[in-house]
Structure 1
């Protein structure tokens, strides 16, 4: 009887240990377990990663990628904050990284799991939105400036003011983010785009109302419209211009004399992620030079990956928006978020201007 009792206790203890172990192997490795999950939930900008790169990752690692896209940082942040989907990795722009850090939405990244981080050029370390390199990994960079089709715009634009040219009625595209449009307006007016007064914000969006007759659409991905000639000129991203240029050699891109904006999209892991280790493995995979090269060939934004840039074909290296003189680049400004009150005012003025 005593032997049976001891055996029963031992059996119960073994079952208990097995149950404890199973908690760490249910696919939720946000705590750092180095086991790949069955799936990875990725939320990214549209037109940013070619399907073959995703397919190759799935084949190599045996992980199914659940992939969805967004068209603006605001859309991304709203969905991450809602928690409806537990995204494992998202790709916010620089100032949204800071907002997500400030709002305690991100996990710190374990760079031991990302050895290919060494391929990131030193210039892209310690960014102002993540000064200690804790929460983000650079993905692609570029500029907000003026993209245009030389078939219709005969003289290269030099200023944001060129968007107001009455000859471009119904042919102008603007970015769909209120802060990015505000940046353009404040630069044009000679104000500090990252610290405007409420009066300057109001002045800027009155200026936008004057532009509305020229505006075809607010569009964060204007490539197709520029290629087809539906739009002639755009307040847009350098990468969108380069993508359009691959299909139509008449597309070009300039930074305006007022400066333009430099930006960086980064890879981050939300706190709601269930598969942190797998997300880090995916980041490391994207930083392989040969994989990162594929990304630049698919959509030729600026690439902070030195190893990838070394093996890029000259055609991509020389695409619009990548090779500006140093004095032009120095004029471009980093975008920073406004405080809550001015953000609310800016968003309201933006919507009112679009309606008017």
Structure 2
């Protein structure tokens, strides 16, 4: 019995030592040493992080950031689901975070590795799409509203209906994601944008078809066209308007009387990520006040990092689309995904409306 006990004890010790020595390069075990990976694969919206911020992380940590971009949440989700590339960090919008959690596509984040999370203002924590704050870290927030060039449009737009003004033929830009276009037109028609009936979806995209003669393009990055005057008025993100305003002071942004949409883009780690710890270190780096300040200077969306906002230049703080009266902000709605059947119908109707 003694021999058996000693043998069993030795066997258990060997297994224990082997387990301790079997940490991955990107280990994040409670008792194990955390080690950065050689590379980090990041998938983000276009025009969202300046190159100098990426280079600063690479130089400080010795990690090669493989950085690619997308133009819509749908594109991002399709590529994450395909598994062709094991992205370590992606930046979905709020309702897509919820969808990715429900589809078991995300890992829980270890906030012990992100001490700079304390810089996030309380107003942007425990959001409806991640109420227990397990899967996401706020990155930037903003609005869907109306951007316009005051050189060509002398009176500020007040309603989504202004996009249909026949004087703007060929000068209107629309966002290129079906749900965002649907939100806009459902608000205009007075329907619940997050719970439209199939008949209301059809009615909405018939209304979009009426707008097509005015539409120059469907584009989520309206800045260049607004600056050049190629576009006079756009269904656009507030950050795109603010970016254009930095180059052309004639650009302004309003939330329509129907409400507009408020949104938050977040940082999440897919289940397929191979470099989770390194992704958390990168998130922590982006939340440094001086780094987050660079993000706002590059593209002035609303920044949930209150320590970064404190050191922002006043000019950036006052750019279009950031400061609205409280009563205007309260009218803005959060976007929620539709069920699978209505999403399929919405996507089909959207594509059909674009070819009218």
CA contact (8 A) 2:262 2:333 kept: yes
> What does 1:150-189 align with in structure 2 at a 5 Å threshold?
150-189=150-189
Deviation, 1:21, is 5.8
User: What secondary structure, in the 3-state scheme, does the structure 1 residue paired with 2:239 have?
Assistant: helix
Q: Which residue of 1 aligns with 2:238?
A: 238
TM-score, scaled relative to structure 2: 0.94
Show CA shifts across 1:199-241 (max 9, x none): 1001000000000000000000010000001111000000000
Show CA shifts across 1:296-354 (max 9, x none): 00000000000000000000000000010000000000000000111011001000111
Q: Which residue of 1 aligns with 2:295?
A: 295
Q: Which residue of 2 aligns with 1:199?
A: 199
CA contact (8 A) 2:38 2:63 kept: yes
Q: Which residue of 2 aligns with 1:146?
A: 146
Show CA shifts across 1:103-150 (max 9, x none): 000000000110000000000011010000000000000000000011
Aligned-residue Cα RMSD (Å) equals 1.6
Deviation, 1:59, is 0.8
Q: Which residue of 1 aligns with 2:338?
A: 338
User: What secondary structure, in the 3-state scheme, does the structure 2 residue paired with 1:148 have?
Assistant: strand
CA contact (8 A) 1:29 1:274 kept: no
Deviation, 1:17, is 8.6
Q: Which residue of 1 aligns with 2:349?
A: 349
Deviation, 1:20, is 5.6
Alpha carbons of structure 1 residues 22 and 217: separation in structure 2 relative to 1, 3 Å: farther
Q: Does 1:75 align with 2:66?
A: no
Q: Which residue of 1 aligns with 2:6?
A: none
Deviation, 1:29, is 3.6
Q: Which residue of 1 aligns with 2:222?
A: 222
Q: Which residue of 2 aligns with 1:5?
A: none
Q: Which residue of 2 aligns with 1:279?
A: 279
Q: Distance in 2 between matches of 1:248 and 1:41?
A: 34
Alpha carbons of structure 1 residues 260 and 38: separation in structure 2 relative to 1, 3 Å: same
Alpha carbons of structure 1 residues 188 and 31: separation in structure 2 relative to 1, 3 Å: farther
Consecutive unaligned residues in structure 1, runs of 5 or more: 1-9
Q: Distance in 1 between matches of 2:21 and 2:212?
A: 59
User: What secondary structure, in the 3-state scheme, does the structure 2 residue paired with 1:181 have?
Assistant: helix
Show CA shifts across 1:156-208 (max 9, x none): 00000000000000000000010000000000000000000111001000000
Q: Give the number of aligned pairs.
A: 343
Q: Distance in 1 between matches of 2:347 and 2:29?
A: 37
